[in-house]
């Protein structure tokens, strides 16, 4: 087997990884004297599983996302953080794991904090919500500062208030953040839809600051996680619902293009995170077709590009397990400049194999075994150059 990374010297940038929040993330930064148990904290339940709690809300299992190398197949997970490799959640140790997997740099996303900051709106008290969000951003800044050339923190923003969001964006850029996460469906949390010009001040600020807008799957309505009837089984459900989340980002792309966001902000970059790439050419073919059939140019003569052309100018998609002819065709259709590589470390079904993994493999092995047929200049762009330019690495 050809060792692609060793032979080429490529420094792989993984554009979708997740931190595992330490148990004291919020209690060490937000006053429990003032807010009591509303500050997220970890409680061990009667089954011995550590869970994040905030007031009467259960936010999720504390170690559920720390699945790299875990001995069981999902949806089973580690009940406690001390049962997983500590290098997963420690910034210094994580660098060792990155070297082991063949990853030079990582773009960092949250877990329990939510993929679009929508969870913060559940607290009711928006002053507390802001403090919690800022505490998370500060934690991520500190994490990234351990190796600023290898970690790219992605900020959350208090999207429920545009003015405060703009201030937080400026603060986070000064603290080393390289982009921002945003909900693919902010209307789920009582805010306007993505196509609403309500968001234009935020888009304008991000464009001016050179920040990408990153739409991670699962950042809107999560009711689809219970896709199957219970009798179908937990494993079958866990294997089935994610595909609806992957292709759900088609809705995001359609809103950005059809709503004129790409047109109004031509230098702003958007990323469809953990969505895969194989379905994107069809989505763009469909948008181009409907564009003409519905005579959109007559309604919007200012739109000077086709949807596929707006995508090529401004939007990126990420893959992690796709390979062979379907991946090659997607890259050929989209262009190598619009494709990014991720592993989703350390989540279940990521490229972070454990004893129960059926198809996952370390990034360096996947790249050598499954991507070596790609042209060297394509590999250079997909594995490094596109992400380096996008995130300033």
Alpha carbon distances (Å) from 246 to 34, 81, 347: 40, 28, 15
Q: Which pLDDT does position 164 carry in this prediction? A: 98
Rounded to whole angstroms, the Cα distance separating 47 from 26 reads: 24
Pair 23, 62: CB distance under 8 Å = yes
Query: pLDDT below 70 — which residues of the chain?
Result: 1
- Number of C-alpha atoms within 13 angstroms, CB side, residue 64? 15
Domains and CATH numbers, the chain: 4-43+86-391 (3.20.20.140)
Q: Which pLDDT does position 155 carry in this prediction? A: 98
Rounded to whole angstroms, the Cα distance separating 256 from 367 reads: 32
CA nearest 386: which of 109, 12, 101? 12
Pair 263, 310: CB distance under 8 Å = yes
Q: Is the dihedral of CA 218, 144, 130, 192 positive or negative?
A: negative
Rounded to whole angstroms, the Cα distance separating 333 from 206 reads: 28
Query: Rounded to a whole number, what is the distance in angstroms from the first to the last CA of the chain?
Result: 29
pTM of the predicted model as reported, rounded to 2 decimal places: 0.96
Q: Which pLDDT does position 1 carry in this prediction? A: 58
Q: Which pLDDT does position 321 carry in this prediction? A: 95
């Amino acid at each position: 087997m050809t060792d692609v990374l060793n032979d080429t010297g490529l420094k792989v940038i993984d554009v979708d990884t997740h931190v595992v929040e330490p148990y004291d993330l919020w209690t060490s930064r937000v006053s429990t004297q003032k807010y009591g148990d509303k500050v997220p904290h970890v409680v061990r339940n009667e089954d011995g599983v550590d869970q994040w709690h905030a007031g009467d809300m259960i936010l999720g299992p504390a170690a559920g996302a720390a699945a790299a190398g875990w001995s069981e197949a999902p949806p089973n997970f580690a009940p406690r953080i001390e049962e997983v490799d500590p290098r997963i959640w420690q910034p210094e140790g994580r660098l060792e794991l990155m070297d082991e997997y063949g990853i030079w740099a990582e773009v960092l996303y949250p877990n329990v904090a939510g993929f679009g900051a929508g969870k913060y709106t559940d607290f009711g008290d928006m002053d507390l919500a802001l403090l919690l969000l800022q505490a998370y951003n500060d934690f991520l800044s500190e994490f990234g500062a351990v190796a600023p050339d290898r970690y790219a923190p992605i900020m959350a923003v208090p999207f429920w208030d545009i003015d405060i969001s703009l201030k937080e964006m400026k603060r986070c850029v000064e603290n080393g953040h390289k982009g921002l996460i945003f909900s693919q469906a902010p209307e789920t949390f009582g805010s306007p839809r993505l196509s609403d010009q309500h968001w234009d001040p935020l888009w304008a600020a991000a464009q001016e600051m050179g920040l990408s807008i990153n739409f991670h799957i699962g950042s809107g309505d999560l009711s689809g996680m219970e896709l199957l009837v219970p009798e179908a089984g937990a494993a079958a459900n866990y294997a089935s619902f994610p595909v609806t989340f992957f292709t759900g980002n088609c809705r995001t792309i359609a809103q950005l293009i059809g709503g004129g966001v790409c047109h109004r902000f031509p230098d702003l970059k958007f990323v469809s995170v953990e969505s895969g790439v194989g379905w994107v050419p069809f989505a763009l073919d469909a948008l181009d077709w409907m564009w003409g059939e519905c005579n959109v140019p007559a309604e919007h003569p200012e739109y000077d590009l086709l949807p596929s052309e707006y995508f090529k100018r401004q939007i990126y998609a990420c893959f992690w397990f796709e390979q062979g002819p379907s991946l090659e065709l997607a890259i050929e259709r989209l262009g190598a400049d619009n494709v990014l590589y991720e592993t989703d470390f350390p989540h279940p079904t990521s490229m972070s194999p454990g004893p129960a993994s059926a198809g996952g493999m370390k990034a360096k092995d996947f790249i050598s075994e499954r991507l070596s047929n790609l042209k060297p200049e394509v590999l250079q762009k997909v594995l490094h150059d596109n992400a380096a330019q996008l995130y300033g690495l």
